[in-house]
Amino acid sequence: MEDLPKYGRAENRPTTVEKRYLMSNRVPIALQLYSVRDDCAGDLSLTLQAVAQMGYEGVEFAGYYDRSAEELREMCDDLGLKVAGTHTGLNTLLGDELAKTVAFNQTLGNPYLIVPGLSEEYRNSQQAWLNTAKIFNDIAEKIADQGMFSGYHNHTVEFESMEGKIPWDTFGSNTRDDVVMQIDIGHTLRAGSDPVSFIERYPGRSKLVHIKEYASTNNEALIGEGEIPWDDVFQACETVGGTEWYIVEQESYPYPPIECAERCINALRKMGKIS
C-alpha cells in the first residue's frame, strides 16, 4: 500500500502510531452506479465485473435495472462487492412502501436508505425543511430496530441561504443523530460552502460520503484535478465524521464513464486511500 497522504494542516498530521491505526481502519471505497448508468443498463453484470476489477470494494445503487434483490445480491457476492447504500426516492420510504423497501435492502445486505433529492414541497421554505426533518425522524424511528438507517444526499440548493438559514443546517439540527447526512463534497464546494466544516459540525453523521471533484474552471474535472482539499476532507471523515464508505460519483465525463470511474479510483490509490 502506498504511503498515507500528507495532511494539509501540519499540526494535525498523524504520528507513526496514528498512521498504523488509520491504515488498519481504512475507509473502503464504493462507486455510485449512477456514474456508469448507461453501462449498467446495457450489461449490468459486465459493468459490475469491471467495477470490481478496478478495485472498488462496494457499490451504491441508484436503480435496480429490473433485477430482483436476490439477483443483485448474487451478482455482487460473486464479485466480492458489498452494497454500500442505495439511493431511493422518499416515496419508497413512506406508508406501506417502507416495509417493502426495507425488505429489499435487507436482502441486498444494505442498511442505508438514502434519499437523493426532494421535490419542491419538501424544501421550498424553512418550514418545509422542518417538516421534512420530522418525516426523516419518523422513518428513522420506524426502522431503527431493524438495523436500518434513513438519510439524505445534498446537491447545491441545501447550502443556499433561505430565510437567513442554511437548509442543510436546518435539516441536520432537527433530525436524529442516526439520520445519515450524506454530504456530496463536490456539490458542497460548488455551492460556495466548506465541506470540511459541515462534516465537523455534525459528528458521526457522515457515514456515507460522496467523493466528487469540483474545479471552478473545469466542469469535467476528475478526482484530484480540482480544488477540493482532499487531505482535510479525509481527515475530517476519519476523525469526526464516522465515515464507513467513500463513494465515488462522477456525473460529467471527459472520457467514457467507465474510464472516468477507473481514473477516479486510480487517483484515490495515488492518494493512499486504497492499495
Residue 222 bridge partners (DSSP): none
Q: Where are the alpha helices (DSSP H) in the chain?
A: 16-24, 37-42, 44-54, 69-79, 97-108, 126-143, 167-173, 185-190, 195-201, 230-236, 257-270
Q: pLDDT tens-digit profile of 132-184?
A: 999 999 999 999 999 999 999 999 999 999 999 999 999 999 999 999 999 99
Query: For residue 7, is pLDDT > 50?
Result: no
pLDDT (0 to 100) of residue 4: 28
The type of residue at 53 is Q
Question: Given this model, what pLDDT does residue 108 score?
Answer: 98
At residue 193, the pLDDT reads: 97
- The Cβ of residue 138 has, within 10 Å, a number of other Cβ atoms equal to 15
* Residue range 87-128, pLDDT digits in tens: 999 999 999 999 999 999 999 999 999 999 999 999 999 999
Q: Is 165 left (phi over 0), alpha (psi -120 to 50) or beta?
A: beta
In terms of C-beta density within 10 A (0-12 exposed, 13-18 middle, 19 or more buried), how is residue 110 classed? buried
257: pLDDT strictly greater than 70: yes
Cβ-count burial of 213 within 10 angstroms (0-12 exposed, 13-18 middle, 19+ buried)?
Answer: buried
Residue-averaged pLDDT of the chain: 92
Does the pLDDT value for residue 32 go beyond 70? yes
Q: Nearest to residue 98, comparing CAs of 152, 138, 153, 154?
A: 138
CA–CA gap between residue 20 and residue 161 (Å, rounded): 41
pLDDT of 10 > 50? The answer is no
Who wins on pLDDT, 169 or 16?
A: 169
Q: Find residue 112's DSSP bridge partners.
A: 149
Residue with cell 484535478: 225
3-state secondary structure of 108: helix
pLDDT confidence of residue 252: 97
Residue 69 clears pLDDT 80, i.e. is over it: yes
Domain boundaries, the chain: 10-118+182-270
Percent of the chain with pLDDT over 70: 91
Residues 6 or more apart whose Cβ sits within 8 Å of residue 174? 129, 130, 133, 134, 137
Give CA–CA dist 27/160, Å, rounded. 30
If you ran DSSP here, which 8-state letter would residue 102 be given? H
Q: Among the CATH numbers 3.30.43.10, 3.40.47.10, 3.20.20.150, 3.90.1150.10, which is that of 10-118+182-270?
A: 3.20.20.150
Place of cell 465485473: 49
Residue 43, amino acid: D
